[in-house]
Structures are given as structure tokens and as C-alpha cells.
Amino acid sequence: MDALPLIPVARPTLGEEEAAAARRVILSGWVVQGPEVAAFEEEFAARVGAPAAAACSSGTAALHLALLALGVGPGDEVITVSHSFIATANAVRYVGATPVFVDVELHTGNLNPELLSAALSPRTRAILAVHQLGMPCDLPRILAFAREHGLPVIEDAACALGSEVAVDGGGFQPVGRPHGLLATFSFHPRKVITTGDGGMVTGPPELIGRIRRLRTHAMSLSTAERHRAAGVVFEEYPEVGWNYRLTDIQAAVGREQLKRLPEMLAARRRLAARYLEALKGHPWLLLPREPAYGRSNWQSFWIILAPECPLSQRQVMEGLKARGVDSRRGVMCAHREGAYRDLPLRFPLPVSEYLQDRAIILPLFPEMTEAEQARVLEALKEVLAG
């Protein structure tokens, strides 16, 4: 009897519409950053309610550009989390600043606001708050602390397109509005929408204008401005910039992905609700929990092995794989990687380390069928029972 096909952790939702959009741009002759990127930026900003947006080559580039736009540099400190993809910490080091890691909350995986005061120093220049795996971080408390101390907040919303948060007593609003000064997104294939790879920064027009220049080697004139000019014009390069452009081919795909966003969010939330209902009360599992101030897009769904569970993370993952179900370990901790062993920790990070060692990301993607989800749940329960 043939083995059942492997159920992946994630699968991008792409179809004929995206293929046709890419073909249209390829045949147009303008394939690098151009009119499609401008349209994608406008439509993305409108979707999240942001005043302006700047597309770039990756979510990491978006973080780097956001820090540059705020003037963060050598000698500065940025309060953030180790419990995130390493790009979060790397972007801080790209500008010569030092990440100051604080621990996270168990059921959200996000920065614990109670630890901000201890991390504050005269060198603190910004707070980089992550909406981990699409779960909104505690922006109400983080923003209140930031305002009290005159600090800008950058939201690493790489996974959080479509997530919502309520601040200052208001109703739910899209992450990326932004509620901090700037928010950054990723369009990697594991994210909610994809352009193959790519990123976006949202924020006020004056900062977004600077980011648009920095992403193109700080060129004083955009390609569109040169094309529109009636006569010959020469650009200048007043400062060091980067080549962080998004192509028009990618932007055209992204515009089609934005059209799919409502249905993809609905599917993700429906699948997450089924997981939560099926697994609640299991004596060996802790489950993620949406906070009162936030609504997740469920970019990923994860379980946490309780201290009482005798099985290791690896044993559970291997048991799932043997039953045709792929999984991923909990979110990494940058401070445990070789690239950060020279950075002394100011505080212990027990929850961050526990989540890396005991959390497991299960399959979840919009086109996942009920039968596939049932297979995942059956396999998980078999492994835990064994």
C-alpha cells in the first residue's frame, strides 16, 4: 500500500491569476521597479490603513531600511526579542546598533512589556516589537511605555498581514496602520501572501519617502521621474544607499495576492479554530492564546509541549514525519546562534528558550482540507499516546 503524501507545514496559494499578472509584466518590457511596484504600494497601504508604503526586496531589507530611516546607528541600543527569526536581530546589527534582548510571554510568544523598564538605558534608541507568527504583540502597553520615554516603535510584522490590534481604547485595526512609527512585512512563500520574496514598510510619508530613496542607492531621482522628465536630467547620490528594489514582476503577483487576502485569512482562522477545539484540555499540551487586544491571522499554528510531557520536541516531530505530517520546531532564539555568542545577555530568557525547545509548528495553509487536518490531528494524538 502506497504511503500517503506528506502534508507540508505551509503551501503558498498561487494560481492562474498570478501567472497571468507576471506574464503581462514580462511582455510589457518594464520588469524592474516601476508602475506595478507603485500600484502595489498604494493598494497595500490602503489595505492596512497606512498613510504610505514602500516595497523592497525582502522582509529583512524592510527592517534594515526602517532602522536607517529612524537614524539608528553605532552606539545605539534597540530593545527587541531573541525569540524571532534571526533577521530581526541581524537588522539591528546591520546599522551598527546593539540588540538588547528581553523575554517573551508563553502563550503569545511576544515581547513581555513588564521587562521593558529593566532593559532601558541612556543608549536606548528604539523598540523593535515582533508580532510573532502573526500573533499581535501587546502594543497597548509597549506604545504607552514608548511614549513615556520618547522612543519610536518599529513593528516587525513580517508574519502579521491581516492581524488586528486594538490600542488606546479603540476597536480592532489592521497591524501595519502602523500603530508604532513604522511597520515592516515579508512576502516570503511561508507568509500570508507571497511575491516569491519581498517586503514592505508602512508609515508616515516623510519617512517612507526616505526609505524609497535608500532602497535605490539613495538616488535623488526615481526611474519614473527620469522617464517623465521632458529633457535630460542627471541623478545624484548624496549618501550611501542600498539595492533593495522589488521587481515589477513580483509586485504584479503581490497585487493579485492582495485580492485573495480576505478568503485566505478566513481559511486560516477557520483551521486554527479547529485545532484549538480539537486539542483543548490535552494534559501534555499548552496552546497559543489570542490576547484580548489582538486578533491573529494564524500565519502559523503551534503547540507547546507541557513540562509534564515525557516526549521531546524531536521525538514528537519524528513521530509526525513517520506518519506523513511535516512540522517545524519552535521559533529560534538568536542569542543561541554562533553569530550572537559574543553578545552578553543582560537578562535570562527562559520562556524564549522553552518555546524554541518545546514548541512545534503544525501544518496550516489556506487550501488545507478537512481531511488533511484530520490526518494531522490523528497523527499528533497517536504520537502523544505512544
Q: What residues are annotated to the active site?
A: 191
Q: What is the DSSP letter of 227?
A: H
Q: Give dist(CA 258, CA 385) in Å, integer.
A: 41
Q: Tell me which DSSP letter residue 330 carries.
A: S
- Closest-CA residue to 86 (of 339, 349, 355, 362): 339
DSSP string spanning 159-196? T-TT-EE--TT---EETTS-SSSEEEEE--TTSSS-SS
Distances (CA, A) of 137 to 32, 45, 117, 208: 35, 21, 17, 23
Coil/strand/helix, residue 143: helix
Distances (CA, A) of 85 to 20, 80, 275, 315, 376: 33, 12, 24, 23, 25
C-alpha cell at 20: 497571468
| Number of Cβ within a 10 Å radius of residue 292 | 7
Contact in structure between 200 and 54 (CB atoms under 8 Å): yes
What is the rounded CA–CA span in Å between residue 325 and residue 375?
Answer: 8
